[in-house]
Amino acid sequence: MAPAHVVHARGLTRAYRRGAREVEALRGVDLDISPGELVVIMGPSGGGKSSLLNLLGGLDRPDGGTLTVAGVNLTTSSQGELDAFRRQHVGFVFQFFNLIGTLDAAENVALAHVARGEGWSSARAQARETLEELGLKDRVDHRPAEMSGGEQQRVAIARAVAARPDLLLADEPTGDVDAATTGAIMELLATLNRDRGMTIVAVTHDPTLAQYASRLLTLSDGRFVG
């Protein structure tokens, strides 16, 4: 039976050392996200958005509280279990596309399949299909330097969703593209949410992204407000 929530978090805390000072990034965060939601989290820099995203993606561990994502208890998971969790359940989209410059678009996307144990030939064929689905048929054989910023971000999204993750996490996905491209990127995420039922959490400073959310949250000073 599928879990009622893709994300179930209670009392999450996370603090970091900055020199002699301890900075509280998260101060007792509660969060439930249901399958098929597109949640946009806004708030000021330093408010805890990226820290929360890192916890949801198994890239970091909370200091306190409990966190279950896609039915996996991330609070008690070993490092090996966290690595497996990221491969099997989560896709990541970052502000700076993080594509490998020596690989073409299809090869960049194929890496997501290879990480899950698929052979290279099958992985590349599936990658081409995904790129075509996302409107990049004419870019499958192009390397990142031969594409615009918007095209590179679409390739990055294709890589993130190639293995159909339970949760797509987007950290400032439009932060490195122009205003016109911002709309295209968010329309793509909204389409994936609507047509594939993909659960998405996006953090951003950009208030224009709020219109695409099924739920809008504001995180400030390590807590949800409003």
pLDDT tens-digit series, residues 39-61: 999 988 888 999 999 999 999 99
Query: Exposure pattern of 109-126 as b/e (b: 16+ CB <10 Å)?
Result: bbbbbeeeebeeeebbeb
Instruction: Supply the range of the domain harboring residue 45.
Output: 7-101+161-225
Q: What pLDDT was estimated at residue 116? A: 80
Q: What is the CATH number of the domain that holds 95?
A: 3.40.50.300
- From the number of C-beta atoms within 10 Å of its C-beta (0-12, 13-18, 19+), residue 157 rates as buried
- What does the alpha-carbon distance between residue 172 and residue 170 come to, in Å, rounded to a whole number? 6
- Average pLDDT (50-79) is 94
Q: Quick one: CA dihedral 36, 111, 157, 87, positive or negative?
A: positive
In a domain, 178, yes or no: yes
SS3 62: coil
Output the six-digit token pair for 32. 């439930």
**Pairwise pLDDT comparison (47 vs 178), residue with the higher score:** 47
Per the structure, the count of domains in the chain is 1
In a domain, 217, yes or no: yes
- Whole-model pTM: value is 0.91
In a domain, 124, yes or no: no
Question: Does 23 have pLDDT greater than 70?
Answer: yes
In a domain, 214, yes or no: yes
Residues 118 and 125: beta-carbon distance below 8 Å: no
